[in-house]
Amino acid sequence: MTLSAWESAPTFAKADLIVVGAGAAGYSAAITARRRGLSVLMLEKQPQIGGAPGRSGTWIWAPNHRLMREAGIADPKDDALRYLARLSFPDLYDADDPHLGIDPADWVMLEAFYDNAARALDELTEAGALDPVMRSDAPDYFADLPEDKAPYGRVVVSRGRMRPDQLTGAEWVQDLHDTAVRLGVDIRVGYRVTDVVGNALAGVTGVAGESEGTPFLARALKGVVFATGGFTHAPDLMHDFMPSPVRYGGASLGSEGDFLRIGQRLGTRMRNLGAAWLAPIPLEPVLRDPTAFTTNIFALRGDSMILVNKYGKRTVNEKLPYHELGLSMLRWDPASVEFPDVRLFMVFDRGTREFFADGTSGNPVPPLDAPDGDLVSGQTIPELAAALDARLRTIDPAGRGGVTLSPDFADNLAATIARFNAAATAGVDEEFSRGSSPIELFRNGPARPGNDLNPAMFPFSSEGPYYALILAPGTLDTKGGPAIDVHGRVLDYSSRPIPGLYAAGNCAGFPSANAYWAGGATVGLAVTFGYLAACHAADSINPR
């Protein structure tokens, strides 16, 4: 927006707090602020609300929350911080150091998360936006780590209405929205914020943007909270900041790096720019339309199922948490001068489709009576390999992120399946230890009838059909951007808080580094720092 446009733009609204972005972090900030008496204006550029949780599950990971305490599940702070520090900064972690070997400024951020996650959940609960249920069956992603003293219990969901266990993401977003509306939050969709009013030194007193082509200004008396998501759908920012070859993701379409651009102009300190919440993503839907609604894969379901690369070889324990699978796909091989695992092929047989298709979000295996969708199929392994080769050449030619299969792919795949079948028959995966950790078995689900060995493995049938699904590394969303402090305040390049400017969720640079501690860590961080930002803005003494 040019200066003259700014000057002529009408100030359409004034509020104590302006919240930008209608996702988990934004609603947490808006509800918290309203309950503290602040007037709140919430601006969402898209025509619909929801952000990331609107597109996924609703797990919220929160250390030492009320339901854990009520159930007598101990989650002491020292130990929880060890788990966080050990995973986010594995090469710095020092159990004997007062700050665990990590940067003390990072330690206090982890501490702030530990201290306030439960409070943020209580806030949403008291407001009526969350009917909390502890998923005490859901383990942390590294539940086996000696530093994890509370491996079960930190995951909270909102009680289901249609389904017994939990709300869908869309249902929970609706609850958040209804609560905010009931509390009197002024929510506007179709309002795109493109800049802040103010600067890093003097502080921020409002936002500028456009709605239906008309510029607007809005004044914030106590602060502006950005909760606008990452930059998965900004190809230029992905190109500049993501490590090759992360090119796609299943994030909300609003994740276009709006706040990263504003932060660049303001001169904010940046954190975590190369990090993302990763997961494999089915390639064909994103190639057809990178902005289409696509779902990252949260569990590679199936026992008679393997992942192989372009050489027809297994490269990873298929049951690892999705973020770890995504990281594994970024392996660079200087000998072949390529990313050999940038495409992985999820290969399975009829049995996996029969016993492991459940229609849940993030499980790409379709039931037998559902259309094949993007599955490639063949009655024999050579037929499957030929069909996969043909499909790749059509949708994803070499170059532009595409790969072609190695000439020995079919032979290698047959040998890989034979070796896998032997391991499954023995129940032990000597190569990758598949099925050996709590999160693997949890995500895998129960063993198929008749499999009383390793529930995560079963020999492929000797008869087709066989299926393959083409996977690329994708983001749930990026998680780098302007750095924040323990109050969610955005920091300038000298790590000084910028008055009146807050950020929470995936638009903020939080020192989780490249770790994905557990399912729901994303939403847990988002609601906690949305809550903290609102608390700080509410306590700010001088209206500005």
Q: Which residues bind its own copies (CB under 8 A)?
A: 86-87, 89-97, 101, 103, 142, 145, 239-241, 243-245, 247, 261, 264-274, 317, 320-321, 324, 327-328, 331-332, 334-335, 337-339, 342, 397-401, 432-433, 483, 493, 513-514
Strands across the sheet containing 155-158: 60-61, 155-158, 132-134
Instruction: Let me know: does 82 contact 151? Beta carbons within 8 Å.
Output: no
Among residues 277 and 531, whose Cβ is nearest to its own copies?
A: 277
Cβ atoms within 10 Å, residue 438: 18
CA contacts within 13 A on the Cβ side of 399: 0
Shortest Å distance, C-beta 293 to its own copies: 24
**What single letter denotes the amino acid at residue 193?**
V
Provide the sign of the torsion angle of the four alpha carbons 381, 385, 390, 392, taken in this order: positive
Provide the sign of the torsion angle of the four alpha carbons 150, 152, 157, 160, taken in this order: negative
Instruction: Let me know: does 466 contact 414? Beta carbons within 8 Å.
Output: no
Shortest Å distance, C-beta 100 to its own copies: 8
Among residues 274 and 373, whose Cβ is nearest to its own copies?
A: 274
Among residues 111 and 354, whose Cβ is nearest to its own copies?
A: 111
| Partners of 124 in the β-ladder | none
- What does DSSP say about strands 214-226 and 497-503: parallel, antiparallel, or unpaired? parallel
Q: Of 14, 498, 6, which is closest to residue 219 (Cα–Cα)?
A: 14
Among residues 400 and 452, whose Cβ is nearest to its own copies?
A: 400
Provide DSSP, 315-333.
Answer: -S-TTS-HHHHHHHTT--B
Cβ atoms within 10 Å, residue 362: 17
Shortest Å distance, C-beta 61 to its own copies: 18
Instruction: Let me know: does 450 contact 336? Beta carbons within 8 Å.
Output: no
Cβ atoms within 10 Å, residue 266: 21
Q: How far apart are CA 217 and CA 324, in angstroms?
A: 43
Shortest Å distance, C-beta 308 to its own copies: 18
Shortest Å distance, C-beta 225 to its own copies: 22
| Partners of 345 in the β-ladder | 308, 470
Among residues 20 and 483, whose Cβ is nearest to its own copies?
A: 483
Shortest Å distance, C-beta 261 to its own copies: 6
Shortest Å distance, C-beta 82 to its own copies: 11
Among residues 215 and 267, whose Cβ is nearest to its own copies?
A: 267
Running DSSP on this structure, what letter comes out for residue 306? E
Instruction: Let me know: does 530 contact 506? Beta carbons within 8 Å.
Output: no
- What does DSSP say about strands 60-61 and 155-158: parallel, antiparallel, or unpaired? antiparallel
Shortest Å distance, C-beta 92 to its own copies: 6
Among residues 106 and 374, whose Cβ is nearest to its own copies?
A: 106
Shortest Å distance, C-beta 400 to its own copies: 5
Among residues 158 and 315, whose Cβ is nearest to its own copies?
A: 315
Among residues 154 and 271, whose Cβ is nearest to its own copies?
A: 271
